[in-house]
Structure 1
Amino acid sequence: MNDATDDEAFALGLPTRGEIYEQQCALLETELADSYQEVRHCRQRIAKLVRMADELTGERDRLRAALNRLQG
């Protein structure tokens, strides 16, 4: 094993443990912000689907009532 090679690796400016933690925190913060944005968009899509379902349910009920009157 060549100890000189190991010493040269540290001369290349390997990050300290603190720098690695800071980088990981920055990555996690970005991922969290992206996740929040995705959740917000999903909630908007869900709200739209709920409104659509409500409209369709109302239309179904009106059509059933009309059918019952015609069959009546």
Structure 2
Amino acid sequence: MSCSADRSPSSASSYSALDAHIRHLEVTVPRDAVAHIHQDLADAAPRMMERNMDAHIPTTDELDW
């Protein structure tokens, strides 16, 4: 997942996830591997990806590497 320098990391994650979603790829974003700028908004991007893109939002410990 790439991040653009002119966007917050959480926002960039949402855009990369959306790119994957519109290409019919499964989206998985580990919630504890995404940076945030504003603590009160830290969960917003993962929740929106989960709700709007049917993304899987595990912790890194839950991933099957």
TM-score range, shorter chain: under 0.3
Q: TM-score, normalised by structure 2?
A: 0.26
Give the structure with higher Rg (CA).
1
User: Relative to total residues, which structure has the larger helix share, 1 or 2?
Assistant: 1
Higher relative contact order (CA closer than 8 Å, sequence separation 6+): 2
